[in-house]
């Protein structure tokens, strides 16, 4: 199968910049598809109006197209709100990056699979549709309903689509009619899109494919009974919508020497200063980038305190693969992944609930040990290989349905011609 995948960011040796889970997912999926004998090409967005180049990485041909906007999504965004407004307006335009037509005509894919679209825009769908190429789109975030893709504003998740976002996403929502099949990483993420009038049951098939860990941990052990302080972990971008500051507030007032917090991932100087300002009696350590397996060996419990509707954090599967239970907020797809045997859920909007829960967990290590042992001996329900097979099935079904519709249209046209001739 010839598969064209759009992923706005796709880290490679020449262009290593990446943003997060959706980009990691795209790399893993593309390389796995290539390993199975498919011909895979990736289109990603590059510098503003710059020349595009190619890389061949692990069997995947990667094409970089210029961003046709006032700045690239991968640059530091402007501090000028008017410039940012122009960026969002242009991002909702009806034409894709220069060179996309050439990619379609040269590669002639059997299917187009889009993921993150920043800088390339949803206009790629109409270009594929004009060439009778079926389109599959994966919902990793809220790009189609929110200019910032997070549905998060002024410290809270958005319950409805605001007027600004409605205006700034009008073009991309309209372009969604060209999508033949949609995949969502969680039930909640699909439900939010359907609440906004997108991808209802009449628009075509919708499939839920959740993100499993890419690789199971080779060497893991359960959390051990110990008198040492419990170690909580946070991994990822420590931004407001991720709930890191809610977590720090909850830890700040816990009894001294009850626990520690390890934070893995890039933390800029301003965020470090803000973290240090929380003080309190709990030791907080920013580790920077560390090997995931090493990080999980150093913690007892992972915490995912998201305030926004986090679609499907890949770190949950990674934590389970390392036999580490998870404390998760009831947001987005998080509650779909955690049960009483594998972790704890809480309501982030309830004052003091996270603090109370963490205090209880730190005071009862036996519960942590029991959940960790359960995870250690619980076979993984799905692995990344199964995810790849599920996507291949979606591609095949979408191509078959697309061909059937095209054949039906031809048959109707032929009947109309025959009827005119016979009359």
Is 29 inside any structural domain?
A: yes
The DSSP element (H or E) to which 66 belongs, if any, is strand 60-67
Residue 338: both structure tokens together: 């955690």
CA-closest candidate to residue 358, choices 349, 373, 368, 372: 368
Beta bridge partner(s), residue 61: 41, 56
163 in the same domain as 61: yes
Residue 416 placed within a domain: no
Residues 74 and 178 in one domain: yes
Q: Please give the structure tokens belonging to residue 9.
A: 């960011």
Helical ranges in 299-349 per DSSP H: 314-321
Asked whether the beta carbons of 172 and 121 are under 8 A apart, the reply is yes
Reduce the DSSP state of residue 287 to 3 states and report it. Answer: strand
Number of domains in the chain: 2
pLDDT confidence of residue 293: 86
* pLDDT number for residue 414: 64
Residue 290 lies in a domain: yes
- What domain range is 115 assigned to? 2-212+393-407
Distance between CA 317 and CA 384 in Å, rounded? 11
CATH number at residue 274: 3.40.50.2000
Residue 223 lies in a domain: no
H or E segment and range at residue 377: helix 365-377
Structure tokens at 235: 């991994």
Considering the domain architecture, whether residues 248 and 114 belong to the same structural domain is answered as: no
- Cα of first residue to Cα of last residue in the chain, in angstroms, is 44
The pLDDT of residue 105 is 96
How far is residue 416's CA from residue 15's CA, in Å, rounded to a whole number?
53
398 and 373: one domain? no
* Residues 196 and 315 grouped into a single domain: no
Q: Are 190 and 206 in contact (CB under 8 A)?
A: yes
Give a yes or no: residue 222 inside a domain.
Answer: no
Same domain, 196 and 266: no
Q: Is residue 136 domain-shared with residue 183, that is, in the same domain?
A: yes
Q: Are residues 352 and 259 in the same domain?
A: yes
The vertex-338 CA angle with 337 and 341, nearest 5°, equals 135
Give pLDDT tens digits for 59-110.
Answer: 999 999 988 888 887 766 677 888 988 999 999 988 877 789 999 999 999 9
23, 140: one domain: yes
Q: Supply the pTM of this predicted model.
A: 0.91
According to the model, what pLDDT value does residue 417 have? 65
What ranges in 157-280 are assigned the alpha helix state H? 163-168, 170-175, 187-195, 244-252, 269-276
pLDDT at residue 51 in the model: 65
**Is 415 among the domain residues?**
no
- Residues of the chain short of pLDDT 50, as ranges, are none
H helix intervals, 253-352 = 269-276, 292-298, 314-321
Distances (CA, A) of 9 to 17, 158, 176, 311, 385: 7, 26, 21, 18, 22
Q: For position 274, what pLDDT does the model report?
A: 83
Are both 95 and 205 inside the same structural domain? yes
Q: Dihedrals φ, ψ of 92, to 5°?
A: -90, 15
Contact criterion met (CB below 8 Å) for 13 and 122: no
Cβ atoms of residues 243 and 347 within 8 Å: no
Residue 326 within a domain: yes
Query: 60-65 contacts: CB < 8 A, separation 24 or more?
Result: 60/30, 60/31, 60/34, 62/10, 62/12, 63/99, 63/103, 64/15, 65/97, 65/98, 65/99, 65/100, 65/103, 65/120
d(CA 340, CA 360): 15
Residue 378 is predicted with a pLDDT of 81
Token representation of residue 12: 């490679």
pLDDT single digits (tens) 316-339: 999 998 999 999 999 999 999 999
Do 297 and 176 lie in one domain? The reply is no
The H or E element spanning position 24 is helix 21-35
Q: Kindly tell me the burial class for residue 373, based on how many C-beta atoms sit within 10 Å of its own C-beta (0-12, 13-18, 19 or more).
A: middle
Q: In this structure, what token pair is assigned to residue 252?
A: 């700040």
pLDDT at 215: 56
C-alpha pair distances (Å), 152 with each of 306, 366, 394: 11, 37, 31
pLDDT in tens, 117-157: 998 999 999 999 999 999 999 999 999 999 989 999 988 99
Q: Say if 264 falls within a structural domain.
A: yes
> Does one domain contain both 188 and 306?
no
């Amino acid at each position: 199968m010839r598969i064209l995948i759009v992923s706005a960011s796709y880290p490679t040796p020449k262009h290593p910049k990446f943003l997060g889970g959706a980009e990691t997912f795209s790399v893993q999926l593309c390389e796995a598809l290539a390993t199975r004998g498919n011909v895979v090409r990736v289109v990603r967005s590059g510098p503003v109006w710059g020349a595009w180049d190619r890389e061949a990485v692990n069997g995947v041909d990667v094409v970089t197209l210029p961003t046709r906007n006032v700045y690239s999504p991968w640059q530091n965004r402007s501090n000028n709100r008017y410039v940012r407004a122009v960026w969002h307006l242009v991002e909702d335009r009806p034409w894709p990056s220069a060179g996309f037509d050439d990619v379609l005509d040269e590669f002639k894919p059997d299917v187009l699979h889009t993921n993150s679209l920043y800088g390339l825009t949803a206009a790629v769908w109409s270009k594929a549709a004009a060439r009778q190429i079926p389109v599959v789109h994966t919902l990793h975030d809220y790009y189609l309903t929110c200019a910032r893709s997070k549905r998060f504003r002024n410290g809270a998740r958005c319950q409805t689509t605001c007027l600004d976002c409605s205006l700034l996403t009008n073009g991309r929502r309209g372009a969604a009619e060209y999508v033949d099949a949609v995949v969502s990483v969680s039930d909640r993420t699909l439900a939010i899109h359907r609440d906004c009038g997108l991808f209802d049951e009449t628009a075509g098939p919708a499939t839920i494919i959740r993100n499993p860990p890419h690789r199971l941990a080779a060497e893991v052990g359960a959390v051990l009974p110990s008198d040492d302080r419990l170690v909580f972990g946070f991994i990822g971008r420590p931004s407001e919508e991720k709930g890191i500051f809610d977590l720090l507030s909850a830890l700040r007032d816990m009894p001294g020497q009850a626990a520690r917090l390890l934070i893995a991932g890039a933390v800029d100087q301003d965020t470090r200063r803000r973290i240090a300002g929380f003080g309190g009696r709990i030791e907080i350590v920013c580790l920077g980038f560390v090997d995931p397996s090493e990080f999980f060996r150093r913690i007892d419990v992972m915490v995912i305190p998201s305030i926004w509707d986090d679609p499907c954090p890949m770190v949950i599967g990674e934590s389970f693969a390392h036999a580490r239970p998870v404390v998760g907020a009831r947001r987005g797809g998080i509650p779909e992944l955690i049960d009483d045997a594998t972790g704890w859920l809480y309501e982030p909007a309830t004052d003091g609930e996270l603090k109370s829960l963490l205090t209880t967990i730190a005071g009862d290590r036996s519960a942590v040990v029991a959940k960790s042992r359960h995870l250690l001996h619980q076979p993984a329900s799905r692995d990344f290989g199964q995810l790849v097979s599920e996507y291949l099935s979606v591609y095949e079904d979408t191509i078959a349905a697309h061909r059937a519709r095209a054949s039906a249209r031809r048959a109707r046209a032929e009947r109309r011609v025959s009827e005119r001739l016979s009359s």
